Amino acid sequence: MQKTDDGQHAHKKPPVLEVRDLVKNFGGLRALNRCSLKVAEGTITGLIGPNGAGKTTLFNAITGFFQPDSGRVLTDGQDITSLPPHGVFNRGICRTFQIPREHGTMTVLENLMLVVPDQAGERFWNCWFRPELVHRQEREIRDRAMEVLDFVNLTHLADELAGRLSGGQKKLLELARTLMAEPRLVLLDEPAAGVNRTLMKRLSENIEYLRRERGITFLLIEHDMDLVMRLCDPVIVMSEGRRLMEGHPEEVRNDPHVLEAYLGGQYGAA
């Protein structure tokens, strides 16, 4: 509870994402072991840990790709545990994948235009009886998509087939596709993997701008510790399917258990 200026009690705003005691088993393997964490609105929260710690499984459970065996996922205090992926998407939660999932035989521009839900042209009768509506909406979506491509510096590739992009360009395209959905929370799965330093700098600058200027919250899985320490606050460490610790980058950087188990001591204090 928080007190207002007149002394009255006001309810504290719930986190944009809360995970409570999630459990997910695959046969005899427990990938999530009563995992709990919170993501505050307007943060770039890092999620680190060794391979097999359960990070991507957690993303899949949050976004409806996996149904947990027990536990809850909440956004703004509302339970979304049982929602399918499109239901989570409609709540303003978008994600990218470690391996980009672009529509390779469609152009970069078409990949973005496809994201917008409930387009009039999706109903065939509108094409016959309301063609003006369909054309007007397509122009608006196209203009918006071009603005997003300009933001991620992919305008020059608008008419290129998405399957022909480099790995780094595909990561930028993934970010652009999430922006077309106007998300409140974006889950990024290893955005730096396979990306050269120039494109990674551009991607990280875009993420910081979107947090600062548009209020988008980010939760990102990443193995590039330099990027995590520079971009994320707080940082959550996972181990064996649950949260090991959470803190500011320097706290994580200097925690002896994290240094020994996950960072190999190379990021310790000088």
Answer yes or no: do 87 and 179 share one domain. yes
For residue 69, being part of any structural domain is answered with: yes
Q: Is the pTM of this model over 0.75?
A: yes
For residue 147, being part of any structural domain is answered with: yes
Indicate which CATH number applies to the domain containing 234.
3.40.50.300
Answer yes or no: do 50 and 72 share one domain. yes
Nearest CA among 197, 216, 235 for reference residue 95: 216
Answer yes or no: do 180 and 159 share one domain. no
pLDDT of residue 269: 39
Q: Give the ranges where the chain is alpha helix by DSSP (H).
A: 55-62, 85-90, 108-113, 124-129, 131-151, 167-180, 197-214, 225-231, 249-254, 256-258
Answer yes or no: do 153 and 194 share one domain. no
For residue 2, being part of any structural domain is answered with: no
Answer yes or no: do 175 and 235 share one domain. yes
Q: What is the pLDDT along the chain (270 residues), one digit of tens a residue?
A: 444 455 554 557 889 999 999 999 999 999 999 999 999 999 999 999 888 889 999 999 999 999 999 999 999 999 999 999 999 998 999 998 877 778 889 999 999 988 766 644 555 555 555 666 556 768 888 888 999 899 888 999 999 999 999 888 888 898 888 888 889 999 999 888 877 788 888 888 889 999 999 999 999 998 888 888 889 999 999 988 999 899 998 888 888 877 666 554 444 433
For residue 3, being part of any structural domain is answered with: no
Q: Write the DSSP string, 93-111.
A: EEE--SS----TTSBHHHH
Could you tell me if residue 252 is left (phi over 0), alpha (psi between -120 and 50 degrees) or otherwise beta? alpha
Domain end (from 140, 164, 188)? 164
Answer yes or no: do 246 and 170 share one domain. yes
Residue numbers of the domain that contains 149: 107-164
pLDDT of residue 261: 60
| Counts for the chain of helices (H) and strands (E), in that order | 10, 12
Query: In the chain, what's the furthest Cα-to-Cα distance?
Result: 71
Question: What total number of domains does the chain contain?
Answer: 2
Answer yes or no: do 81 and 198 share one domain. yes
What lies within 8 Å, CB to CB, of 46 at 6+ separation is: 220, 222, 228, 231, 232, 233, 234, 235, 236, 249
H or E element in which residue 9 lies: strand 9-10
Nearest CA among 174, 171, 145 for reference residue 159: 145
For residue 70, being part of any structural domain is answered with: yes
The string of pLDDT tens digits covering residues 49-91 is 888 889 999 999 999 999 999 999 999 999 999 999 999 998 9
For residue 269, being part of any structural domain is answered with: no
Answer yes or no: do 19 and 36 share one domain. yes
Nearest CA among 53, 61, 76 for reference residue 24: 61
pLDDT of residue 117: 63
Burial of 11 (0-12, 13-18, 19+ CB in 10 A): exposed
Which neighbouring-strand residues pair with 25?
30
The string of pLDDT tens digits covering residues 82-94 is 999 999 998 999 9
For residue 268, being part of any structural domain is answered with: no
Answer yes or no: do 253 and 188 share one domain. yes
Answer yes or no: do 72 and 149 share one domain. no
Answer yes or no: do 112 and 160 share one domain. yes
Which neighbouring-strand residues pair with 91?
none
For residue 4, being part of any structural domain is answered with: no
Answer yes or no: do 139 and 62 share one domain. no
